[in-house]
Chain A
Amino acid sequence: MDKMNTMESVQPCSGSYSYKRDLLLNVWLMVAAVVYVISLFLLKHHPDWTPLTRGLVTLSPLIPGLLYVRSCLRFVRGLDELQRRIQLEAWLFASLGSLIVATVVNVLNASGVGLAGLDHGLSLWGTYILTFALWLVGTAVANCRYK
């Protein structure tokens, strides 16, 4: 039987880092990034393609992206029960935090209180970075609570 997953096994600086586990978890994310770059290149150099073809090429990173989600779910299922709870709390904190920040920015913009650089709300990358930062905070707080 495989040993349970640990968060340390996918953190490069930790003592129990496992290259194999990291690869199993993140390989589809890397594939998605490569497919995304290729799709951008193709769309730029083939403006003559039909809207259907362009749509399919644009959405092509979604397939490895969904496979990445599956890898994440499998990894979380293999986690120890306390780590699963910590991750659940951290993701809840990150997703609700992002939702609240996005709502606040939009409400402020709608009421005429424009925030510098956020006139059109949070960008896609801004949302990703905010969610990741809040996940880090959430994981650290939950880890401290159960230390």
Chain B
Amino acid sequence: MKNHLRELRTFNQWSQGDLADKLDVSRQTINAIETEKYDPSLPLAFKIARLFKKPVEEIFRSDR
């Protein structure tokens, strides 16, 4: 799955650690999502969408 998490995070001038704290996950999770090695769970995807005030499909899209 492709995502725009890194762009959104850098736009808000947050570090990976800042975003991890806001989402209550580890920095490793943020890094793995940004590098597209790990697809977040549905609750986490919605949490990310809520935080950035964007629809989920605008942040994440299927690469197929």
Residue interface bits A118-147, CB-to-B below 8 A is 1, else 0: 000000000000000000000000010111
Which residues of chain B are near A6, meaning CB under 8 Å? 26
Q: Contacts A81-B44, A145-B37, A146-B38 given; indicate if A4 touches B24 (C-beta within 8 A).
A: yes
**How many pairs of residues, A versus B, come closer than 8 Å at their CB atoms?**
33
Residue of A nearest to B41 (CB): A81
Assess whether A147 is in contact with B31, with CB atoms less than 8 Å apart: yes
Complexed CA–CA distance, A143 and B28 (Å): 9
Prevailing SS type, chain B contact patch = loop
Task: For the complex, count residues of A whose C-beta is within 8 A of B.
Answer: 12
CB of A16, distance to nearest CB on chain B (Å): 11
Within 8 A of B (CB), among A1-51: 3-4, 6
Instruction: Tell me which residues across on chain B come within 8 A of A83, comparing CB atoms.
Output: 26, 28-29
- Listed in ascending order, the chain A residues whose CB lies under 8 Å from chain B are 3-4, 6, 80-83, 85, 143, 145-147
B28 touching A146, Cβ below 8 Å = yes
Complex partner residue of A4 from B25, B40, B41, B44, CB under 8 angstroms: B25
Of A81, A146, A147, which one neighbours B25 at CB under 8 angstroms?
A: A81
Interface string of B10-45 (1 = CB under 8 A from A): 000000000000001110110110000110110010
Closest chain A residue, CB of each to CB of B23: A80
Say whether A147 contacts B44, CB under 8 Å.
no
Interface residues of B in 33-63 (CB under 8 A from A): 37-38, 40-41, 44
